[in-house]
Amino acid sequence: MKKILSIVSSPRGEASYSIKLSNALISKLQETYPGSTVKEKNVAEGFPHLAQSHLNAFFTPSDQHTSENKEFIQTSQESIAEIRDADILVIGAPMYNFAIPSTLKAWIDQVVRAGVTFKYDSNGPEGLIKGKKAYIIVSSGSVYSDGPMKDYDFVTPYLKTVLGFIGITDVEVIRVEGTSVSGIQDAAYEKAVNSIAAVA
């Protein structure tokens, strides 16, 4: 039995390839680990981007928090607690203009915190979130895993780097790509679903 945290960042609902592929992966994980639970966190709409009020709360010692600090740190605290509680993260990451949606970046900014999810010591940075498995579900209209567009993929290297920075180094990437390319778009999703068996 595993605790699965699913991060949804696409606002497209049932039309979203990243959501559909994430759900297919989660179904496979539930088959592999009977009794697993799933918590979905949808950051696609309304998730707070960092503001000065959040930063003030982050860098104020907890024993000095005002009521305003407590209000503005709540989202970060809850998001980090959800990660700590999970065994497996499934992060849906549609590619927008070669990168991740701003709301997914906002979630990352709320959970990557010095002294909380990483620290610096004499050996450099150390991630403090240990023992997690993460799957990054990347959807894209073109093909970025190989070929002439490969260097334009800023989704997978960024997410793998930032996850590793907080200690999550066991990361698999599953792609549904070419969804807008004539000749391969019809088979793109089926190919992606078939690839799940190799990594789940």
> Six-digit token pair at 172?
């698999």
16 is in an annotated binding site: yes
Instruction: Check whether 144 is labelled as a binding-site residue.
Output: no
Candidates 76, 58, 90, 55; CA nearest to 168 is: 90
The reply, when asked if residue 95 is annotated as ligand binding, is yes
**Pairing of β 118-121 and β 124-127:** antiparallel
Find out whether 58 is annotated in a ligand binding site: no
State yes or no: 152 annotated in a binding site. Answer: no
23 is in an annotated binding site: no
For residue 50, what are its two tokens? 């960092």
Q: What is the SS3 assignment for 106?
A: helix
Helical H segments across 41-183, by residue range: 52-58, 67-85, 102-111, 156-165
Three-state secondary structure call for residue 164: helix
- Whether residue 97 is annotated as binding a ligand: the answer is yes
Residue 195 marked in a binding site: no
Q: Which residues pair with 88 in a beta bridge?
A: 4, 133
Q: Are 26 and 4 in contact (CB under 8 A)?
A: yes
Binding residues for FMN: 10, 16-18, 95-98
